[in-house]
Structure 1
């Protein structure tokens, strides 16, 4: 890996990916109703996902459906970067780190395009 500076950005509102299982049922029902009524095309008309490097918020999975266990909370994700000479998987993947606050156990998973 090559060292390179990272600068913190302003906090942004962060939302889960549509098919990641983290959207409450009443909210997903409302979004589906808005789609059926033609008021929106899909979930992404309402929100902007924030991928890349980030601490906190929701993981921005490339391949949704990943689970590390219900007791684990998302902590951070690290994206592939040419500048840092870091690649997860075969094609611009991302690594996700989770922690169980009760046991302090950590888990990591990754996915790619």
Structure 2
């Protein structure tokens, strides 16, 4: 397996998000971290059984993005809410974290809501295309046969290491590969990685110790899966 074939096997597109740097328009077509403004008329901030309000973490307006996972086809707006303290990794959605997907903008109304103890600083997002995102070498996602081919190139002196061939987007993103801090996990085969929100000083988010909140979606049921790790 040569270098072009290795890269072809691994490369995935992604949308990378950058925080702030411009004045927000507050239009519906704007994506945000730390702010959710679109709800159905009967919806508000979700509350768990302990009576704690989940924090608004993200609102993505998908039609405006350069690339979106096929698992989000038809979804116009995706919003994310997370409890503090964080849910357990791999905890089921619904109690301490929640994703809402909307396919019809006309059903949504704007509401200015915030959790009583919210700590994220709201910022609008700018989006850019990452044409080729690659998995981390020790983070999962490199098939065994590709790993063997990379090691053969190293032994032959063609490359010094895997990262001579690849780059990885660690920022907030939709698509690409998850940014594991430790050796990665792989949910069941029918799940596909969809997006992540990473530690970011500007929005005052630290995922335990410089980690990322990472989300997968089931290809047939549409169920969501959460995982995070840290240094």
TM-score, with length taken from structure 1: 0.90
Q: Which structure has the highest strand share of the two?
A: 2
Per-residue CA deviations over 1:6-65 (Å, capped at 9, x if unaligned) read 100123201111123422333222211111012211100111111110101111211123
- Asked if the contact 2:180–2:211 (Cα under 8 Å) also holds between the matched residues in 1, the reply is no
Other-structure match for 1:111: 229
Within-5 A mapping of 1:61-80: 61-80=180-199
Structure 2 residue 165 is matched with structure 1 residue 23: no
How far residue 110 of structure 1 moved from its aligned partner, in angstroms, is 0.5
Question: Alignment length, in residue pairs?
Answer: 112
- Asked if the contact 1:4–1:84 (Cα under 8 Å) also holds between the matched residues in 2, the reply is yes
Unaligned runs of 5+ in 2: 1-119
Larger Rg: 2
Q: 3-state DSSP class of the match of 2:138?
A: helix
Structure 2 residue 151 is matched with structure 1 residue 32: yes
How far residue 106 of structure 1 moved from its aligned partner, in angstroms, is 0.4
Structure 2 residue 216 is matched with structure 1 residue 98: yes
Runs of 4+ residues deviating >3 angstroms: none
CA separation in 2, counterparts of 1:2 and 1:111?
A: 22
Unaligned runs of 5+ in 1: none
CA separation in 2, counterparts of 1:16 and 1:110?
A: 16
RMSD (Å) for aligned C-alpha atoms: 1.4
TM-score, with length taken from structure 2: 0.46
